[in-house]
Amino acid sequence: MSTDDVSASGDTNQHENAKQSVVAVDGNDTELDIVNRLDAHTGDGTRHRAFTALVFDGDGHILLAQRSADKRLWDTHWDGTVASHPLQNQTQVEATEQRLEEELGIAPEQYDDLRVTDKFEYKRYYLNDGVEYEVCAVLKCTLNDTSIDPNPEEVGGVLWAPYEHLHDNPRMYRQLRLCPWFEIALRRDFE
């Protein structure tokens, strides 16, 4: 049985990630190969390119998005707005613009300062379901217009949280079960 035929529950149904690819990279984020997305997230994983985007309002609140219950990894955990993988030949900014619109209905006209602010490598296993092994870029922007239209297939819920308070008081937010890449980005942002 190939990994293309295995879902998170072990069923032999086709998993959507088996139809997608990610960019495998070295520790310096230099492209090495294009690999199957499901393969990159199973076993010991394959290091690949990823991003997380932190979206703010004008008052220092961050828009947290809860990952859909249908996500294979870190389902129902809270993320720093959106996270995903750029396609080959797609910039981190282009990929982020695409995911903001697809997941939350946030159009590029709502912000004008989307930029890469950090990059780090991490590896985390999730239960027995898979692994994230990524060189993750962090992008930020501030919305001029905070109207959103979450896609329920991608997002289980949304929450505006005071960013500095979230960092300074992590115990007050632990019931949210934050995604590991967001926790790393948050910690590094205040170092």
* CA distances from residue 18 to 26, 36, 88, 92, 126 in whole angstroms, order as listed: 22, 6, 16, 22, 18
One-letter amino acid for residue 82 of the chain: V
Catalytic residues: 134
**Paired strand residues for 54:** 140
Indicate the DSSP class of residue 152: T
| CA triple 42-47-53, angle to 5 deg | 100
* CA distances from residue 92 to 21, 52, 138, 143 in whole angstroms, order as listed: 16, 9, 9, 18
The kind and range of the H/E element at 183 are helix 180-189
Find out whether 161 and 64 touch, Cβ atoms under 8 Å. yes
